[in-house]
A and B are shown apart, each in its own frame.
Chain A
Amino acid sequence: MRFTSLWAPMGAVALAVAALAPAQAAETKSVAVTAIVEHPALDSVRDGVQAALKAAGFEAGKNLKWQYQSAQGNTGTAAQIARKFIGDKPDAIVAIATPSAQAVVAATKSVPVVFSAVTDPVAAKLVASWEASGTNVTGVSDVLALDKQMELVRQVVPQAKRVGMVYNPGEANSVVVVKELQKLLPTLGMTLVEAAAPRTVDVSSAARSLVGKVDVIYTNTDNNVVSAYEALVKVGQDAKVPLVASDTDSVKRGAIAALGINYRDLGEQTGRMVVRILKGEQPGAIKPEVSTKVELFVNPGAAEKQGVKLSDALVKSAAQVIQ
């Protein structure tokens, strides 16, 4: 330890500072972050984690060894990144999205793992329940309260009876949402009409297949759909089908409204959890969390192009109005 000789004078300072900035760490901690793929939302999570660590006094390059690896969409690489990280024995591994989280959790029972942006960690067997796991795993889910989502759909299109949804049947998170909606919508007097888009290029034709069959198209944070949201917007404008999204970025790209998770906040929430572990808490003692913050974005211009008019109350309640 290079800092040993500094301990005595620093001890006094640390005591004085402790009350103001309890996070000041004297030794270097290490955090390794992996995501299955680069993607604006997932990248925001990563940046949020880093920001939260910095806010707590763990700064990359100073007293924090920070490394980040993306599997670039390949599960074989995700597995190998998991092995590399576990071999490096960091103080915590942050695994973003389901396949990356499963690869890490399958490979270690000892290194603390914090998952993030996993919609259903229980179904993915990362944790046994939503209670503190008692294992080396905890994390933050990006699950959305679907009743709130459908409330928004009704506020945008009050007479909506048939809700269309474009999604990738190969994405675990989206399938969870579809199954939930199939149960929820009938209780609200509405029905779900699905259109599958297994590839990004299928989004446009899937959306077109819904024209005439639905009153509104709702989409979740499906990676394929979000990647090709412009294709959806084109169909929405041409056929006057209103679009409601689940991520606020899509509103800037032409959705009428979205009550979405701010993935940067999700990352910061994850980061605060990492900080607790760096300070000595056991991951198994920390309950998995869900995102606490959702914010409403609306786009009145897009509404007009898609044939609806937003109520003033809705526009007023929005966190941000896109012109």
Chain B
Amino acid sequence: MSLFSLLGAVEIGLIFALVALGVYISFRLLRFPDLTVDGSFPLGGAVCAVLIVAGVNPWLASLAAAAAGAVAGLITGWLNVRLKIMDLLASILMMIALYSINLRIMGGPNVPLITEPTIFTQLQPENMADYVLRPLVLLVIVVLAKLALDWFFATERGLAIRATGSNARMARAQGIHTGAMVLLGMAISNGLVGLAGAMFVQTQGGADISMGIGTIVIGLAAVIVGESILPSRRIVWATLAVVVGAIVYRFFIAAALNSDFIGLKAQDLNLVTAVLVTIALVIPQLKRKLAARR
């Protein structure tokens, strides 16, 4: 594997680490099966791309993308909490609605950014290769996001969100406004996903309507891979595990892309990735079984 493809895997892994952090909040902390992600990822990308093309500062455009994602999450939460639509269905409704909304925002299925300024081109120093800079910038952003989440989920409000997820009835008995906590948690979750979409379009040459397909699968896989590598109930470790999981998942794909030497073909890529992830999930169990037997 070349350095370029290695750093490429890290770069894309870090972008999906933001998605994975969002998915961790909805699926794990809130226990809300949220498929909005498949729509809020391209939503963030669309908003960011359109704003950059319109001449807005890329940093501002990225923040706006996060805000747009947060609004999408808020609406999913609202459909569930206020209109009493089942959580999974509420998120599916939002996901399909976002497909049309994203087309409206982009004014077409594709907004190229190849020649536009991005946060990465703005930071680009003369003496550093762009493929080194991008993962570094993303690393800083992901670490900041992780630390912010660690801090927030230890505050009273953050703890209230976690309590809502683990036992809503008990949380209500403690005087927690659980409906508001679901809305807040969903907004944070999808805000992170929107930000990931903004990072993705700025590194990949533009927004495309098809970029959301399978985002939730990658996010969930990253969460679960991370949890099996670093099992912990503490938030600080759990968020780290999620970030590591997202990057490791990308390494699996990189490995699968290099698997042609054992007679595998391009069309086997998804299968190879699935098998590698399965192995990663089973090994910790096997270890535990072996340890128990001894």
For the complex, what is the distance from the CA of A64 to the CA of B12, rounded to whole Å? 30
Output the nearest chain A residue to B271 by Cβ-Cβ distance: A72
Residues of A259-284 at the interface with B, using a CB-CB cut-off of 8 Å, are: none
Output the nearest chain B residue to A175 by Cβ-Cβ distance: B108
Enumerate chain B residues within 8 angstroms of A76, measured Cβ to Cβ.
12, 16, 200, 211, 214-215, 218
A87, B1: Cβ atoms closer than 8 Å:
yes
Counting CB contacts under 8 A, is A237 at the interface? Answer: no
Counting CB contacts under 8 A, is B9 at the interface? Answer: yes
- Tell me the smallest distance from the CB of B289 to a CB of chain A, in Å: 33
B108, A172: Cβ atoms closer than 8 Å:
yes
For the complex, what is the distance from the CA of A123 to the CA of B107, rounded to whole Å? 13
For the complex, what is the distance from the CA of A175 to the CA of B209, rounded to whole Å? 12
Residues of A81-112 at the interface with B, using a CB-CB cut-off of 8 Å, are: 81-84, 86-89, 98-99, 102-103, 105-107
A83, B109: Cβ atoms closer than 8 Å:
no
Enumerate chain B residues within 8 angstroms of A45, measured Cβ to Cβ.
none
B258, A84: Cβ atoms closer than 8 Å:
yes
Q: Given known contacts A80-B8, A102-B204, A106-B206, what 6 new A-B pairs fall within 8 Å (CB)?
A: A76-B200, A79-B8, A79-B204, A80-B5, A80-B254, A87-B5
B208, A99: Cβ atoms closer than 8 Å:
yes
Q: How many residues of A contact B (CB 8 A)?
A: 40
Enumerate chain A residues within 8 angstroms of B122, measured Cβ to Cβ.
none
- Tell me the smallest distance from the CB of A278 to a CB of chain B, in Å: 21
Q: How many residues of B contact A (CB 8 A)?
A: 46
Interchain residue pairs with CB less than 8 A apart (11): A70-B266, A72-B270, A77-B253, A83-B5, A84-B5, A84-B257, A86-B4, A102-B205, A105-B205, A107-B205, A198-B99
Counting CB contacts under 8 A, is B137 at the interface? Answer: no
Interface locus among B110-118, B141-149, B235-243: B110-118
- Tell me the smallest distance from the CB of A61 to a CB of chain B, in Å: 12
Counting CB contacts under 8 A, is A7 at the interface? Answer: no
For the complex, what is the distance from the CA of A207 to the CA of B57, rounded to whole Å? 43
Residues of B247-278 at the interface with A, using a CB-CB cut-off of 8 Å, are: 250, 253-254, 257-258, 260, 266-267, 269-270
Main secondary structure, interface of A, reads helix
Enumerate chain A residues within 8 angstroms of B131, measured Cβ to Cβ.
83, 107
Enumerate chain A residues within 8 angstroms of B173, measured Cβ to Cβ.
none
For the complex, what is the distance from the CA of A47 to the CA of B257, rounded to whole Å? 20
Counting CB contacts under 8 A, is A57 at the interface? Answer: no
Q: Which 5 A-B pairs have the closest CB atoms?
A: A83-B8, A106-B205, A87-B2, A87-B4, A125-B112
Q: Which of A70, A76, A102, A171 has the most CB of B within 10 A?
A: A76
- Tell me the smallest distance from the CB of B139 to a CB of chain A, in Å: 16
Counting CB contacts under 8 A, is B159 at the interface? Answer: no
Enumerate chain B residues within 8 angstroms of A171, measured Cβ to Cβ.
109
- Tell me the smallest distance from the CB of A131 to a CB of chain B, in Å: 16
Enumerate chain B residues within 8 angstroms of A75, measured Cβ to Cβ.
200, 204, 208, 210-211, 213
Enumerate chain A residues within 8 angstroms of B218, measured Cβ to Cβ.
76
Counting CB contacts under 8 A, is A129 at the interface? Answer: no
Q: Which of A75, A88, A107 has the most CB of B within 10 A?
A: A75
Enumerate chain B residues within 8 angstroms of A102, measured Cβ to Cβ.
110, 112, 114, 204-206, 208
A77, B269: Cβ atoms closer than 8 Å:
yes
A79, B267: Cβ atoms closer than 8 Å:
no
Output the nearest chain A residue to B205 by Cβ-Cβ distance: A106
Q: Contacts A80-B257, A125-B115 given: A169-B103 contact, CB under 8 Å? A: yes
Enumerate chain B residues within 8 angstroms of A128, measured Cβ to Cβ.
115
Contact of B12 among A73, A80, A98, A123 (CB under 8 A): A80
Counting CB contacts under 8 A, is A170 at the interface? Answer: yes
Q: Contacts A80-B250, A105-B205, A125-B115 given: A88-B108 contact, CB under 8 Å? A: no
Contact of A170 among B5, B99, B203 (CB under 8 A): B99
For the complex, what is the distance from the CA of A123 to the CA of B106, rounded to whole Å? 13
Counting CB contacts under 8 A, is B3 at the interface? Answer: yes
